Amino acid sequence: MDKTLIDITGQRFGRLVVLKKAKRLPNRPVRWICQCDCGKIKPIYSQPIRSGRQKSCGCLNREYEDLVNQTFGNWIVLKRLPNDEGHHMRWKCKCIKCNNISSMTGGNLKECHDRSSYSCSKCRVDNKFTDLTGLVFGWWTVIGRVQNSCCGGARWNCKCKCGKRSILATHQLRHKGIHGCRSCTFSEWTPKYFKDLTGMRFDKWFVVERAPNNKRITMWKCQCDCGTIRNVSANSLTSKKSKGCRGCAISNSFVDLTGKRYNRLVVVKRIGTNSLNKNAIWLCQCDCGNTIEVESRHLNYGAVSSCKCYKKNMTSLAAGTKEHIAYLKMIGSMYWEDRSRNSL
């Protein structure tokens, strides 16, 4: 036997008596042959036995104390229910005071031996009940109590100063954030850091009046210089994220490309706009004399550099000849000069 092994042969642990050491499995802890008081013999690992987690062969879990007709506080046990997911025994109980039926574990019942006032949640709420009838909370006046919520919390019939009535829970009345009904809160209650932007100008936006909130975001009715009216958030106005309507923003971003050169193309005039992506379409003349319609993005990115005559010239010129190399250098220098001029 290993010198570091602690021999527990003949010792008792709960209902188990250790008989001898069992054959050790590969890469497994030490096991012991144990006999239970019920007569069953089985191998059990050393650690659960010595730590006290396992006290029997499993028969102890199948035995339970019958609690039917016993009283625990204000509970009386009626019958046993199936175990829950955690394998805890559950019992169907009845409250003596209000006849409320509930299911409880044996541990919860045994904890209330010395608690004579232990009962259901409904009775506990009634014991701690405070009458709020006639009290005023903000703009709410409590008229009377109504039926409790499904969780057993007290609810109250309340009247706002504008005449509207609503049913609120106790915690809603005592919470300082709920001063009145929604319409009164929106129209009269002013937040601490609220700033009136009526009549102020933010770039092309002129604030006309306050608009209804959008998911608790302060909105303002604004008019653009072009006449467009739109609701804009206060954050977008003060941080200058929104400087005008979408139409004005597109017109401000427009750049006139007339007369500019892009490789072999020279922009002649603007002829329209792409209906899908709203890009300007320009009429361009190639060095070979042909004309072509090109979008502004293709010109700026260098995607189109000629009317396809460039490819024809490339096929006609032998790759690697002096004329070919000189032509590529000329085109490259012209391209980068135009890009640097446009960036300025």
- Quote the CA–CA distance of 281 and 338 in Å, as a whole number: 19
pTM over 0.85: no
Element spanning 233, H or E? strand 229-233
Element spanning 299, H or E? helix 296-301
- Quote the CA–CA distance of 34 and 12 in Å, as a whole number: 9
DSSP 39: S
Of 311, 271, 269, which is closest to residue 288 (Cα–Cα)? Answer: 311
**pLDDT tens over the chain, length 344 residues:** 566 778 888 899 888 999 998 888 888 888 899 998 888 898 988 888 888 888 888 777 666 667 888 888 778 889 888 877 666 778 888 888 788 888 888 777 766 544 444 667 666 655 556 778 888 888 888 998 888 776 667 888 999 888 888 888 887 887 655 677 777 766 655 555 567 888 999 888 999 998 888 877 888 999 998 888 999 998 889 888 888 887 776 666 667 888 888 888 899 998 888 878 778 898 999 988 888 899 888 888 888 888 877 666 655 555 555 666 666 666 666 666 666 655 55
Element spanning 78, H or E? strand 75-81
**Angle, CA 215 vertex, CA 209 and CA 216 arms, to 5°:** 65
List Cα–Cα distances, 140 to 164, 187, 246, 333, in angstroms.
Answer: 10, 16, 44, 78
- Quote the CA–CA distance of 216 and 209 in Å, as a whole number: 17
List Cα–Cα distances, 129 to 72, 97, 121, 205, 241, in angstroms.
Answer: 24, 16, 12, 55, 52
Total Cβ atoms within 10 A of residue 75:
23
The answer to whether 181 and 193 have CB atoms below 8 angstroms apart is no
Q: Which residues, other chains included, contact 228 with Cβ-Cβ below 8 Å and sequence gap of 6+?
A: 245, 247, 248
Domain residue ranges of the chain, discontinuous segments joined by +: 12-62, 71-126, 136-187, 201-251, 256-343
Of 110, 30, 7, which is closest to residue 67 (Cα–Cα)? Answer: 110
